[in-house]
Structure formats: structure tokens, C-alpha cells
Amino acid sequence: MDPPLATLTDQIKRLARELGFACAGVAKVQPMAADAERLQTWLAAGYHGSMDYMAETAEVRADIAHPKLLADARSVLVLATPYAHARPTSGLEPGRVARYAQGRDYHALLYDRTRPLKRLLRAHGASARACVDTMPALERAWAVRAGLGFIGKNACVIVPGVGSHLLLTLVVTSAELVPDTPIEERCGSCRLCLDACPTGAFVAPRVLDARRCISYLTIEHEGGIDDELRAGMGSWLFGCDACQDVCPFNRGKPSEAELSQPFAALDRWDELAAEDLLRMDEAGFDAYSRRTPLRRPGRAGMARNAAIVLGNVGDKRHLPILQQSAERDASPVVRDAARWACRRIEARTQPNESEDEELDRRVRLAAAKAG
């Protein structure tokens, strides 16, 4: 005999916590007209940039019960996993890697954690499918519906007591679980995240123009990066935490679970310098990025990012490798970024002629007095 809905829901949530998920909430599958309209407005404005897959899957994203997802879906179990840890500036020196990417790739790990949950649901005759950022679903919208948190002005899901440095996982099921109650948005008049964005990517609260977002530029965008945006990238090699690091909801200390494997930063970030990305061939990059999110931009994307970072924060000692990349790199995108970086460093380090002339005048004056 199947357990009552409340009992099964409690069993699922308890198992989720035992598996390592920090938070679990349930949403009832219902139409998403308002969320679908916001998505279409965002796409129509072109804010998705070159992420064509967002437009191609818009219909599916708006319907979790779409045949391409789970046609008999009745409930969505939403799970949150914190990833923030004690090395917020970890990364190649000079350069920074976003917190979520400093550890091992999270996709396989979190997907494996969902297996016992799916087995439990299937044992009770329900179908179930897991999503770890791998299906066309509106994860943030479902997190809000499941009462996990609210959408902050930085467009991230904020879970009170946990923050926004977290990964979302969905388990879509035909089981009719007991839904949770959504909570209200709590940002108030705060706009720290909006003001902290180095490239001005927020069109309005909760509306992000991905084409200006450093995370998009360093991870998703495959071509050259506009000159006007390069300086704003600062020292970010992969991703960006600027709008999250200033959020008051992220001021708590990381838990022991967040500091331990698999969320701890990998030692490899301390083993190489940013300019080493410009020296790597495809095989070297493949070995370096294996089992990490840094594989997504590919060698050329990461070399492009490294060149821009060096152009922003590098010095004369980086000119030789940049000059070599500008002349010989197989990717025209990398060659262009390296040339830009050379110009930036040379302009920054070129002696100021008026200062030199003043120094010479003082030396001559001192010599004349001494004579």
C-alpha cells in the first residue's frame, strides 16, 4: 500500500538531506504563463546573446510537462546545494575563477545524488527525471514556486540562511507530492548587486543583458569580445561573482560541507599562472581542464580570457608571451585579444615624458649647484 502523500513527501525530503542536499522544496506542476512571458520578452530584446538554444527551447522551458521533459509530471522537487568556500579569489595569478567552478564539475556529482530519490519515487509507481542544469527548464522559477527562496535583483535565487552561492537540481515526477508555500522577495531597497556589476549588465532589477555579463562573455561567448567590455572584465578569467559577493544574504561563513570535497577548490589553480593558458596546446588544455567546468569555453576561449586579463592587470613581464600569441596562436580571436593586451600594457608602462624631463632638469640643477 502506498504511503499517504505527506508521508512520501517527508521521506523524499529526508532522503534528499541525507544525500547532501542542503534544501528541498516541492512545487505543483501548473501553467507558467507569467514566467513564459518574461522569457519571451527577454529573448525578444536579444539579451540571450549567442545562446540560441535558449530561444530554440523556449516552448519546452515554459512547460515542465512537455513530452520532451516528462509528459505526466505532477510535481517538481527542487534541491539546492551550496558551493561557496573560503577561497573567493582563487584562480590563476593574476586572474580569478568564479567560486562555483573552483571545484570538480558538479553535474555528474549532483546527478548521482538524485539516483536514490528517483528509485524511491519509482518504487511507489511514479515516473521521475532529474535535471542538473542539463534540461531546458526554468530552474529558478521552480525554486521560487517550491518555496526555496526568491529571485534577487541580481537574477539569482536567494535562499535565506544559505545565500545565492548554490546549485539547483530538479527531480520532475508524476508523484503528487505536497507542495510548499513560496516566500516573498526580501531585497527591499538594496541595489548593491546592480551597482557592483563591472560591465553594467543589469538593464533593470532581475533583468540581465547576458551580452554584457562577464560570466557569459568568459564562458558562453565564442568570438571576440567588444573592446568596450574588456576593461570591465578586470581579472576574471572564468565567470564572475561580483553581484553575489556584495549581497548581504551571502555574508555568512561557509559550512564544513562547503569547505570539504567535492566543493573545495582544486589545487591546480595554484599550480599555473594565467599566461600558461596562452602556452597550452589542445592536449595540454584537455588535461588541465578535465573534470572541471573550465572545459566549456575550450582552449581558445580560455586563452582569449587570459590575454584580456593580462591586458587589464598584467605588466611588462607578460609582453613576450602576449606578443608570441599575437603572432602565432591558431585562433584569430586569441591573436586579437593578445594584440589588445600588448597595447594596454605598453600604454600603462610607457614612461611619462614630462616626468622624465622634470627629473633631468633637477639632476642638471643639482649637478650645477654641486659644481
Judge contact between 39 and 144, C-beta under 8 A. Answer: no
> What DSSP letter does each residue of 133-170 carry, written as one string?
S-SS--HHHHHHHTTS-EE-TTSSEEBTTTBS-EEEEE
CA pair distance 118, 237, nearest whole angstrom:
37
Picking from 192, 128, 132, the residue whose alpha carbon sits closest to that of residue 168 is 132
Residues 6 or more apart whose CB falls under 8 angstroms from that of 320 comprise none
Q: One-letter amino acid identity for 185? A: E
* Catalytic hit among 10, 35, 133, 276: 133
Active site residue 133: yes
CA pair distance 230, 199, nearest whole angstrom:
9
Pull the grid cell for residue 48. 540571450
Picking from 80, 75, 78, the residue whose alpha carbon sits closest to that of residue 5 is 75
Element (H, E) at 288: helix 282-289
Catalytic annotation, residues: 133
